A and B are shown apart, each in its own frame.
Chain A
Amino acid sequence: MAEAESKQRKPGARLCCICSQRRPALKRPKTLEQICRECFYEVFEEEIHQVIVQNQLFKPGERVAIGASGGKDSTVLAYVLSELNRRHNYGVDLFLLSIDEGITGYRDDSLETVKRNEIQYGLPLKIVSYKDLYGWTMDEIVKVIGLKNNCTFCGVFRRQALDRGAAFLKVDKVATGHNADDIAETVLLNILRGDIARLSRCTSITTGEDGPIPRCKPFKYTYEKEIVMYAYFKRLDYFSTECIYSPNAYRGFAREFIKDLERIRPRAILDIIRSGENFRISTSTKMPEQGTCERCGYISSQKWCKACVLLEGLNRGLPKLGIGRSRGLNNEEKREKKQSNGISAIESKACGTLDF
C-alpha cells in the first residue's frame, strides 16, 4: 500500500535504493542505504544464504540443531534457517535445542518462548536441563555460592550441556546465533587479554570440527541491529529479559566501544572481523593441548574437565573449588580470587547467551 501511495502522490519522493519502486522504510545499519521493507528482508536473507553456501555450512541429509535461548538472535536464526532450508532445498533436518539452567523468572519464561517457536516453525524441540545433567539448578547453585562467580558455573555447564543435548538429538552440527557484533567483540577482547590461541580461532565460522559436534555461526556477518530490525518488522516472538543473576554483565567497555565505532563507521564491525581472519599467527605459538576428562570423557585440557571440577566442589560442599586462579583438583591449589560481578567488565554478554 505504501508503494502505491508514493507512486501516485509524490513522484519526486525518495525511493528504495535497491528496487527504486517502493518508499524506503528503514536505513540499513550495515550500509546506511535507505531501503524498503521487502528489499530488507531479501538482502538480509540472501546474505545469510550466501554465507551458508560459500562456507558449505550444511550438507543435504544432515541433522542440525539450533541453539535456541528464546532471545532475538536464536529466534531469528530459527526462523531464517527454516525459511532458507525450504526455499533453497538445503535438505537438512532442523531441531531446536535449549538449555534449561533452572533460573526462575528468567529461563522458565524464555523457554515458553522457545516452546511457542517449536509450534510456529514446526521444529522439534529438545530441552536439556542442568538439573538432569548435574543434579543442580542455577537457583540452587546461587543459593550456595552467592552472586559472585555464578556465571562461571553457568558458562562451563552450558557448554557441555549443549554438546550432550546435541548428542541426544544425534545431530551432525549445532548452529548458534552469534552475530557480527559478538564476533567483533570477541576479536577485540582476545587482543586485550593477550589470548593468542583464541584470537586465531575466534573468527572461524565453524569451530570444533575435531571435537564431537562442530558448531557454526550463520550470522557471522549479520549485524545485531539488523537482526533486531528483522525480528521487529516480522513481529517474531522472542524474549528479551536479562538474566536475573547478572543484570550488569550485559554492557561492557568493549561492547560500548563497538557501538561507538558503528556510529562513526558502520563498516568497522566487518573490518574487525576481517582483521581477525587475516591475523598472521605464528605456527610456533603454543596452543593448549586437548585431551579428555578422566571422569566423564568430555574434551578437556586438564586431568578433569572444568565441569567435573566445579561439580565436585558443589557436591563436596566446597563450591569455591575450581573458581578463579586456583586450578582446583588438578593441582591441589586452592586460592581464592577476588572477583566482582560485571561492574568493570570489559566484555559484555558473558551470560545468558550460548556463548562459550
Chain B
Amino acid sequence: MACSSGACQSNNCYKQEEEEESEQNSIASILDAKRGTESNDPQQSLCIKCKANSPISCTGEDVRFCADCFRSNLYGKFRLAVSSHAMITPSDKVLVAFSGGPASRVALQFVHEMQNRAQKNFDASRDRSLPVFGVGVAVIDESAIYPIPAHEFDEAITEIKLVVSNLAPPTKELHIVPIENVYASDSVDKRNRLKELLDSVTDVTGKEDLLLHLKMLSLQKIASENGYSRLILGSCTSRIACHVISAAVKGQGYSLSANIQYVDARWDTPIVLPLRDCLSQELNLLCRVDGLKTVELLNGPSSGINHLVSSFVALLQEENPSRECTIVRTAGKLTPFHFNRIPEISDCNVPLATRRRQKRFSLQPKESISSESFCPICISPLNKSEMQTLSGFGSFQSSDTFSPSCCPSCRFQILPKDPHSMEHFISLLPQPLAAQSKHDIGGNLNLLREQIQDFLLSDSDSET
C-alpha cells in the first residue's frame, strides 16, 4: 500500500483512508473490523458489548465478543438482510440449499430460528393473520461427478438427515436429489449424459462453472416441483468477494452486479442471499462455538481460475481483514439489474396482512438496468455489444444460433471450439437451459413494465 496511498490522496480519496484506518484497528480484532470501538484494555478481558461475560476463547483468532453477543450480532446481520429486502414473508415457503459446509449450516440454523420465533408469535397472536413460513432443505448429491466411496456417502447422508431432523418443529422436509436429475425425469441414462456433457468441456474452470450452473438449475427444479417460493443460499461475504474477482477475471464485468445482490429474481423461484454480510470466518466460528455439525464430504474440489482467485482473496484477507468487505462493497456500487429485487405481490389470493407487510419494507425501485436477453448457459444478462448478431430468437436448438446467444465468457470456457461438436453439445444440455432463454421472452412483460414505470400509478406511491 505504501506508494499508492500517497498518490491516491492527491485526489481526495477518502474511501481508502477509511479503509486504512480500519486496517490498523483490525489488527487487534479479526472479527470486529467494521466497528471502530476502541478502548482495548489488555487487562480487562470482557466482551466489548455486554461487558459481563468473557469473550470466546479460541485458538488463532482474537474475538472480542462473548458467545451470546457474537451470535446475536451475526443473527442481527442475517435478520436485517432478510427484512430489508423482503426475503421471507409469512406466506412463503423457503428452500434452504444445504451443502453441509459452515455457511449453509448457519443459513439453515438462522432460518430455523426465524421460523421458530414466527411460530411462537403465531401461537401467541389472537387473530392468527400472519401465517408461519414453511422451510425445506435441499441437498444436491454430486457423486455422479465426484465419486466417493459408498459407505462415506451413506455416512454423510445420515449426518445430514440427523442435522435436519434434530431441528425443533415445525418439521422441515429434506430433499436429497442427485445432480443428474437436472434432466427431465423421462430421459434415459441421465448420469452418463451428464458425465459426457461435462467431459466435453475442456477448460477446467469452464467445467466447474458449468457444474455450478447445473447445480443451481437442480435447486430451481426442486423448488418449483415442491412449490417453494424462495431459494436461500448461504453465500457469505468471502464467497461473494471471490465471485467478484473471478467474474472480473473471466470478463463478466457487465453481468457481475446481477449475481452479487441480496435478491436474484431471474428464476421462477427467486434466490436470496441473507448471509451476504457475514464473513466465512464468522460462520466457521459460530459453527464451532455452537457445535453446529458440518459435513464437508459432498463438495467437489476447486481448481483452475476459481482456485487461484480464492487463494488470492484469502491472501489479501490475511493481510487486511476488511479486504473482503471492501471488495463486496465496491461491487455493490455497480448498478444492479431490474430483477435484483423481490417482485411486488399483486396476487389477490395472498392474505392482505402479508401484502401490507411487504409494502412496509423498502421496495422502492432503485436505479437499475433493464436487460433484454440472457446467456442460455449461465443466465447472465447480455450486454448489447457482447451479443453477436442475435436476430432469430425462435430457433434455439440450431447450433448456428446457439453460440452467438451465449455470453463471451461461456463461449470461451464452456462451448466446444469445434463447430461440428456443437450440435452434440447442445443435445447433451438439459432441457431447461434452452427453455430458460425462451422464458425470457415471456419475462419481457416485466421489462415493458419497467420502461413505463414512471407513468404507472401504484398504491405504494401514496404511502411514501
List the interface of chain A (C-beta within 8 A of B). Answer: 148-149, 151-153, 155-156, 159, 187-199, 246, 249, 253, 257, 260-261, 264-265, 267-268, 270-272, 274-285, 288, 300-302, 305-307, 322-325, 337-347, 350-351, 356
Report the separation of the CA atoms of residues A196 and B13 in the bound assembly, to the nearest whole angstrom.
10
Give 1 or 0 for each of B161-192: 1 = CB within 8 Å of chain A CB: 00000000000000000000000000000000
Which of B205-254 touch A at CB < 8 Å? 205, 244-245, 247-254
When the two chains form the complex, which single residue of A151, A188, A253 contacts B2, counting CB atoms closer than 8 Å?
A151
In the bound complex, do residue A194 and residue B20 qualify as a contact, i.e. CB atoms below 8 Å apart?
A: no
Assess whether B305 is interfacial by the CB under 8 Å rule: yes
Which residues from B are CB-within-8-Å of A281?
A: 333-335
Which segment, of B64-72, B119-127, B308-316, faces chain A? B308-316
Which segment, of B95-103, B145-153, B268-276, B321-329, faces chain A? B321-329
What DSSP secondary structure best describes chain B's contact surface? helix
Closest Cβ of chain A to B293, distance in Å, is 35
Closest Cβ of chain B to A193, distance in Å, is 5
In the bound complex, do residue A194 and residue B326 qualify as a contact, i.e. CB atoms below 8 Å apart?
A: yes
In the bound complex, do residue B2 and residue A350 qualify as a contact, i.e. CB atoms below 8 Å apart?
A: yes
Question: 21 A–B contact pairs at CB < 8 A?
Answer: A148-B2, A159-B10, A187-B248, A195-B13, A196-B330, A249-B3, A257-B308, A257-B312, A264-B308, A268-B250, A272-B248, A278-B254, A279-B334, A300-B10, A337-B20, A339-B1, A340-B2, A345-B3, A346-B316, A346-B319, A350-B3
Report the separation of the CA atoms of residues A274 and B409 in the bound assembly, to the nearest whole angstrom.
11
In the bound complex, do residue B5 and residue A191 qualify as a contact, i.e. CB atoms below 8 Å apart?
A: no
Which residues from B are CB-within-8-Å of A155?
A: 3, 6-7
Report the separation of the CA atoms of residues A340 and B13 in the bound assembly, to the nearest whole angstrom.
19
When the two chains form the complex, which single residue of B1, B7, B409 contacts A346, counting CB atoms closer than 8 Å?
B1
When the two chains form the complex, which single residue of A148, A190, A261, A283 contacts B367, counting CB atoms closer than 8 Å?
A283
Report the separation of the CA atoms of residues A322 and B7 in the bound assembly, to the nearest whole angstrom.
11
Looking across the interface, which residue of chain A has its beta carbon closest to that of B250? A271
When the two chains form the complex, which single residue of A194, A257, A274, A350 contacts B4, counting CB atoms closer than 8 Å?
A350
Closest Cβ of chain B to A230, distance in Å, is 25
Report the separation of the CA atoms of residues A41 and B327 in the bound assembly, to the nearest whole angstrom.
39
Closest Cβ of chain A to B255, distance in Å, is 9
When the two chains form the complex, which single residue of B11, B249, B251, B252 contacts A301, counting CB atoms closer than 8 Å?
B11
Closest Cβ of chain B to A220, distance in Å, is 15
In the bound complex, do residue A199 and residue B369 qualify as a contact, i.e. CB atoms below 8 Å apart?
A: no
Looking at B6, B248, B308, B330, the one whose CB has the most chain A CB atoms below 10 A away is B6
In the bound complex, do residue B9 and residue A306 qualify as a contact, i.e. CB atoms below 8 Å apart?
A: yes
When the two chains form the complex, which single residue of A198, A275, A305 contacts B252, counting CB atoms closer than 8 Å?
A275
Which residues from A are CB-within-8-Å of B329?
A: 194
Assess whether B419 is interfacial by the CB under 8 Å rule: no
When the two chains form the complex, which single residue of B19, B256, B369 contacts A193, counting CB atoms closer than 8 Å?
B19
